[in-house]
Amino acid sequence: MLDQNSVAHNCEAVVLHCIDFRFNEEVDNYFDKRFPEGYDVISIAGSCKGLLNDEEHRKFLLEQFQISYRLHHPKTIALVQHEDCGAYGGSKNFSDTDAEQKFHQEEFQKAGKLLSGDFPEMDIKGYYAKLSREIATLQ
Ligand SMILES: [Zn+2]
């Protein structure tokens, strides 16, 4: 019985995404399909921005990833950036949608590099949620 409970207590992934309500439904639907056994969610305005630009936020987020890892043993970290993110000044801060996506691609790469130092055994994946309700993968 105890063993069954502890197995049921493992999840596939830990997902970091922004607080922005406009993307909750598409992000939930997407990861419900991708990680049907379940996933932990960490939500903070700007997603990767918290890892990269603010020491207190980075400390807080690394702690959240560690708690998820310790309690639920996820194998994947999913970092979700999104279009028109207010924490980055919104779409108006970029010359066009390609430039915006490219910027978020770079944010993902930097955050992934940072996290791979602390979680070398985890697979780190990046996603970009668009207002069109598509989710693109970041490399
Ligand atoms: Zn946002």
Tens digits of residue pLDDT in 91-121: 999 999 999 999 999 999 999 999 999 999 9
Q: How far is the CA of 51 from the centre of ligand 1 (A)?
A: 14
Is 106 in contact with 99 (CB distance < 8 Å)? no
Here the CATH number for the domain that contains residue 30 is 3.40.1050.10
- Phi/psi at 44 (nearest 5 deg)? -150, 145
DSSP labels, 77-132:
EEEEEETT-GGGT-GGGSSSHHHHHHHHHHHHHHHHHHHHHH-TTSEEEEEEE-TT
Give the type of residue at 127: Y
Q: Which two tokens stand for residue 117?
A: 């130092």
User: Structural domain tally of the chain?
Assistant: 1
CA of 43 to the centre of ligand 1 (A): 10
Global pTM reads 0.93
Residues, Cβ < 5 Å to ion ligand 1: 18, 20, 85
| Domain, as residue range, for 90 | 2-138
Contact 81, 101 (CB under 8 A): no
Rounded distance between C-alpha atoms, residue 45 and residue 14, angstroms? 17
What SS3 state is found at 18?
A: coil
Instruction: Please write the tens of the pLDDT for every residue from 24-77.
Output: 999 999 999 999 999 999 999 999 999 999 999 999 999 999 999 999 999 999
Least confident span in 6-20, 30-44, 76-90, 109-123: 6-20
Whole-number Å distance, alpha carbon 2 to ligand 1 midpoint, is: 40
CA of 83 to the centre of ligand 1 (A): 8
Residue-level pLDDT at 3:
53
User: How far is the CA of 42 from the CAs of 1, 4, 97, 102, 120, in angstroms?
Assistant: 29, 26, 26, 23, 19
What separation in Å is there between the alpha carbon of 40 and the centre of ligand 1? 19
Give pLDDT, residue 1.
47
Task: Return the residue matching tokens 């987020």.
Answer: 61
Ligand 1 centroid to residue 9 C-alpha, Å: 29
